[in-house]
Amino acid sequence: MDMMSDRIADRVKQMKGSGIREFFDIAQQMEDAISLGVGEPDFVTPWRIREACIFSLEKGYTSYTSNWGLLELREALSDSIYKETGVYYDPEGELLITTGVSEAADLALRAMLNPGDEVILHEPSYVSYNPCTVFAGGTTVCVATGVEDEFKVRAEQIEEKITERTKALILSYPNNPTGATLSRKELEEIADVANEHDLLVISDEVYGKLTYEGTHTCFASLNGMKERTVLLNGFSKSYAMTGWRLGYAAGNKELIEAMMKIHQYVMMCAPITAQMAAIEALRCEDEVERMVSEYNRRRRVMVDGLNALGLSCFEPKGAFYTFPSIQTTGLTSEEFAKRLLLEEKVVVIPGSVFGACGEGFIRCAYAVSQYEIKEALERIERFLTGIK
Amino acid sequence: MKEELKEKQKEVEILRVLEGNARLSDAEIARMMGIKEDAVKAIIAELESKRIIRKYKAVINYEKAGIETVQALIDVKVSPERDTGYDSVAERISRFPEVQSVRLVSGEYDLSVLVSGKTMQEVAYFVAEKIAPLEQVRNTLTHFLLKTYKEHGEIYGEEGQGKRLAVTL
Ligand SMILES: Cc1ncc(COP(=O)(O)O)c(C=O)c1O
């Protein structure tokens, strides 16, 4: 047989694997490391939710569901979205339950892109958007955001990148890795650009409930945006349900229908156990509030601590990440992360992983206990003294 | 009015934080809440002086510590008194150091009393000698505690927490 690598599809082969696989492997295996490299809550899913799932299993709910997801879940979700954002989605046709926001993002891109279509993506950003765009036959056009703008993408930056091939814009706020959020006014300016240039918008609001200053504005709630926006959200972050793999897409009927067409052949449906649990999750807003206020306390301790160490850190207003600058150390973000891991056993993620403009920064998650934050800060302090 | 509300929210948050971990320093609490250390000090001093914060205690798993104690919940049925209702008898029972808590409850009996001692016998004698004979007490029912699963919001059994990956992007 010929070399297997010759038989792998070009678009997959050409997709850059993460350059720092090796570093991640060491990090995953190091026993007594403190990890600020996590991208998920440290809370276990609230017991009420787990218990509802166990009960559903006892009652024998183990079958496939409708391709769209359980109607009861879609109805509850429609109510909850309406209550929170004022946007109404018809549970029959405008809402699709998916296996995580991950699948929903992939479906949205595949449903809208023709070969060569361009998608505008602000960076630094979550790592999946670019590969999913490319796998769907599109190309990403990146907009670099910087710390001077608190990592907010500005409407005119988006406008500058628009060409005849521009099909869609991806918006991802509160942002992973920076924790940046956009105000209603800033979103409105972007909405104007989307209107003027007839763009589709994929708005990933998976961290929306984790907003600590001001309130989260759902992009689809802005004037005229519901029709051109695919709203992506899920249960992973706000309900501490990452392993359940449950999310959803909401938007224009035809577009959601197109996404459903793909979903029905590749996924069939989201797991019923997770869907049963999600129905209960929507009744657990108190638990969400409890977790959010704890994240908020950790956020303050982490931001203060990093700033005190001279790793200047703008104030993140959402998600559970801080994105301090490490430029004063003279190291690249990858060198910094590697040496910090080897010398002091603290895992942080080099900002460059999230786009070239993330260079000079590291992502430190505060979805860890107060004790771990304290210990990690002490270790980072020792590390910084050592490299001076 | 808005200021007052904010002050109230700070008070409530400090109480919640302390309830979770009473050993945090004022500086640590201040950092968590994004307010000044002096403000935390002042609020806690006020809560203490108003006796809203009664004391700072550890939640101890005595079984694990290998310290033998016996506890019993006593259902007590009492005849309320004309002027003081249940208060005077409840306060009287409260004064015994063997008594850990006294609560007025709805239902078949009136007071729920938690008593602790070194042995079952000691607890049983205490109930027979000090509580049952009280004039207002009509009836007692003793339940010895066999095992504690959760105390003050703390689950004693270790929860099998799955290990998260050290890196997720
Ligand atoms: C911005 C963003 N979107 C989506 C996801 C994936 O979410 P899900 O677990 O719902 O697939 C993540 C996970 O890290 C994320 O950070």
Contact B164 A42 (CB under 8 A): yes
**Confidence band for A330, pLDDT divided at 50, 70 and 90:** very high
pLDDT at A19: 59
Three-class SS of chain A? CCCHHHHCCHHHHCCCCCCCHHHHHHHHHCCCCEECCCCCCCCCCCHHHHHHHHHHHHCCCCCCCCCCCCHHHHHHHHHHHHHHHCCCCCCCCCEEEECHHHHHHHHHHHHHCCCCCEEEEEECCCCCHHHHHHHCCCEEEEEECCHHHCCCCCHHHHHHCCCCCEEEEEECCCCCCCCCCCCHHHHHHHHHHHHHCCCEEEEECCCCCCECCCCCCCHHHCCCHHHHEEEEEECCCCCCCHHHCCEEEECCHHHHHHHHHHHHHHCCCCCHHHHHHHHHHCCCHHHHHHHHHHHHHHHHHHHHHHHHCCCCCCCCCECCEECCECHHHCCCHHHHHHHHHHHHCEECEEHHHHCHHHCCEEEEECCCCHHHHHHHHHHHHHHHHHHC
- Tens-digit pLDDT profile for residues A367-378: 999 999 999 999
Q: Which of A24, A293, A300 sits opposite B167 (nearest CB)?
A: A24
What was the pLDDT predicted at A387? 85
ipTM computed for the complex:
0.83
| B34 interfacial to chain A (CB closer than 8 Å) | yes
Q: Which of A38, A127, A297 sits opposite B164 (nearest CB)?
A: A38
Q: Percent of chain A having pLDDT more than 70? A: 99
Average pLDDT, chain B: 93
**Residue B1 predicted with pLDDT over 80:** no
Interface test with B, best of A370, A374, A377 (most B CBs within 10 A): A370
Tens-digit pLDDT profile for residues A340-370: 999 999 999 999 999 999 999 999 999 999 9
Task: Specify the pLDDT at position A6.
Answer: 86
The partner residue sitting opposite A349, judged by closest CB among B33, B161, B167, is: B167
Q: Give the confidence band of A388 by pLDDT, cuts at 50, 70, 90.
A: confident
From-to residues of CATH 3.40.640.10 in chain A: 60-284
Look over chain A and give the mean of its residue pLDDT values, rounded to a whole number. 96
**CA closest to A21 among chain B residues:** B167
Residue ranges, CATH 3.90.1150.10, chain A? 4-45+286-383
Residue A235 CA to ligand 1 center (angstroms) comes to 10
Instruction: Output the pLDDT for position A39.
Output: 94
pTM of the shown model: 0.92
Q: What is the pLDDT of residues B96-126, one digit of tens each?
A: 999 999 999 999 999 999 999 999 999 999 9
Nearest to A297 among B33, B165, B168 (CB): B33
pLDDT above 90 (res B158): no
- Domains of chain B plus CATH, in order, are 2-49 (1.10.10), 68-147 (3.30.70.920)
Q: What is the pLDDT of residue A269?
A: 98
Atom of ligand 1 nearest to the CA of A234: 10
pLDDT per residue as tens digits for the range A24-63: 888 989 988 999 999 999 999 999 999 999 999 999 999 9
In the CATH scheme, what architecture does the domain A60-284 have?
Answer: 3-Layer(aba) Sandwich (3.40)
Reply yes or no on domain A4-45+286-383 having CATH 3.20.20.70.
no
Q: Which residues of chain A have a CB within 8 Å of the CB of B25?
A: none
Nearest chain A residue to B160 by CA distance is A44
Residue of chain A minimizing CA distance to B159: A44
A108 lines ligand 1 (CB under 6 A): no
- What are the pLDDT digits (tens) for A71-117? 999 999 999 999 999 999 999 999 999 999 999 999 999 999 999 99
pLDDT of residue B159: 64
Kindly list the residues from chain B whose CB atom is less than 8 angstroms away from the CB atom of residue A353.
169
8 Å CB contact of B13 and A243: no
Atom index in ligand 1 nearest the CA of residue B169 equals 14
Q: Is A19 on the interface with B (CB under 8 A)?
A: no
- Average confidence (pLDDT) over A222-237: 97
**CA A126 to centroid of ligand 1, rounded, Å:** 8
Question: Which pLDDT band holds residue B160 (cuts at 50, 70, 90)?
Answer: low
